[in-house]
Chains A and B, each alone.
Chain A
């Protein structure tokens, strides 16, 4: 019997960060041009309780399935939770509040002098939030060693240097600086906004990894290798985007026996990273590989103007993070098919027409495995929450892509044209991930798929991710990556 690498576990977290929305790329640029919109933006932020009750967010952390989400009438933002208590935790992870995240952010800052200077009054509150968090209490000792910034010193530092104010509602928790040393001072890559972006990715990625380790009930020392798939670009003027995030997250999480590296492929990076992880395991290079992706600060509030125009609460107010454990075959967990041709790829020489892209990363891998489109129980494509996309005029990306899959199945003569919609209803799902770049790209469904396949509810799920390589300004290409997750043949 062939043995394949398996996806053994998954973790997903959201961080409700309404006061970081202003530091997202779009809000930051608009606020610089029109400072008067600050008050309007502030009056449209969503309280934590509503972010928690929001059905797509509950789907992301696994409390409700995509099928149940599809049955909830839209608009989802009007939906009130049936539960009287806030469901901040779910099978896959949690929805964290901003204050606890600031505590985690402070812990992620290992620099001296610190980037994140916490106000004396706030330090105790953040420390309490960390100490009472079930998965973060092992950070308590480290947090107690943190000294609050002396008011006079902090006032002087703020006068002399640019910084970002980190608020939690009306309260100022602290200030975020750039690298103020002589070698960092004139480097725009080490300015406060970029360093906050990097540390937000590190802190949120660490949270997801902590949940993964907890769910799997393993020691972090057992992990061999980490692959980070986030969209941040760490590094200074000589190597912006150089990487280091995987090991930074691993270091913070206690993975002392692991090494790691970062993979870049825009939104498709998580799928690329999973393929790499599976390949490393299959080649017996490593046994336990983690793929981790921290959240994208830059994409907070990307669609905020549309929400202001419609007088709605800003829904793209959450950082998202995820982590996956890929291991040698355990005889139970779903496998990733790795035979030659099984991994979908869009060749450099391929046309960028939709038909060509889908032919490459949908039909070709299926053909090489001797499968038809209709042999797949579920397809996971770009899973951006449509409610975030539609108000800005970008449409329902998931629905558009499911139609294309249906059309391809018809073109391949594997589906009758009149059956397209009913087939899409069976194999598709609504988008439920926040617009966090790499996060929504097919893999938000991986946790749901692993559970459903283990329970015998389905046999095969195909994951298809897209990447806008042209955003690099180095090429006009886009990319597509796909892989097939399948029931473990050893499962009785």
Chain B
């Protein structure tokens, strides 16, 4: 938990992938660790 809380006040750019981990899902995790999401995108390569 200590490691995760180090994301407080951090600005994060999120890139996800449809067939792996979606950006939305990554952002949810990062927000729960107090990160600020400044950009989020999910790519579809198919």
Interface residues of A (CB under 8 A from B): 267, 351-354, 382, 384, 389, 392, 394-395, 397, 400-401, 435, 437, 440, 466, 468, 470-471, 476-478
Contact = CB atoms under 8 A, between A and B. Distances in A.
Contacts of B18: 466, 468, 470, 478
Nearest to A381: B19
Contact of A470 (B28, B42, B45): B42
Contacts of B4: none
Interface residues of B, number: 14
Interface in B1-46: 18-25, 28, 40, 42, 44-46
Given A382-B19, A468-B18, A397 B46 contact: yes
A267 B46 contact: yes
Contact of B19 (A352, A392, A401): A401
Contact of A476 (B42, B44, B45): B42
Interface of B: 18-25, 28, 40, 42, 44-46
A414 to B, nearest CB: 23
Interface centre among B22, B42, B46 (most CB of A within 10 A): B46
Contact of A384 (B20, B28, B40, B46): B46
Given A389-B46, A478-B22, 7 more contacts: A351-B28, A354-B20, A384-B46, A392-B45, A394-B46, A395-B19, A466-B18
Given A400-B19, A468-B18, A478-B18, A437 B24 contact: no
B25 A394 contact: no
A455 B28 CA distance: 47
User: Is chain B's binding surface mostly helix, strand, loop or mixed?
Assistant: loop
B18 to A, nearest CB: 5
Contacts of B22: 352-353, 470, 478
B44 A468 contact: yes
A382 B46 contact: yes
B46 A351 contact: no
A400 B44 contact: no
Contact of B45 (A351, A389, A401): A389
Contacts of A476: 23-24, 40, 42
A470 B40 CA distance: 12
A36 B26 CA distance: 40
A440 B45 CA distance: 13
A395 B20 CA distance: 10
A466 B25 contact: no
Instruction: Give me the 9 closest cross-chain CB pairs, A-B, nearest first.
Output: A468-B44, A394-B45, A352-B22, A353-B25, A352-B24, A476-B24, A468-B18, A352-B25, A397-B19
B46 A435 contact: yes
Given A351-B28, A352-B25, A353-B25, A400 B46 contact: no
25 contacts: A351-B28, A352-B22, A352-B24, A353-B25, A353-B28, A382-B19, A384-B46, A389-B45, A389-B46, A392-B45, A397-B46, A400-B20, A435-B46, A437-B46, A468-B18, A468-B44, A470-B22, A470-B24, A470-B44, A471-B44, A476-B23, A476-B42, A477-B24, A478-B22, A478-B42
Given A397-B19, A400-B19, A440 B25 contact: no
B20 A351 contact: no
A482 to B, nearest CB: 16
Nearest to A354: B21
B7 to A, nearest CB: 18
Contacts of B23: 476
A471 B42 CA distance: 9
A389 B18 CA distance: 14
B27 to A, nearest CB: 9
Contact of A440 (B21, B28, B46): B46
Contacts of A382: 19, 46
A146 to B, nearest CB: 37
A478 B16 CA distance: 12
B25 A351 contact: yes
B40 to A, nearest CB: 8
Contacts of A389: 45-46
A196 to B, nearest CB: 22
Nearest to B21: A354
A316 to B, nearest CB: 11
A58 B20 CA distance: 29
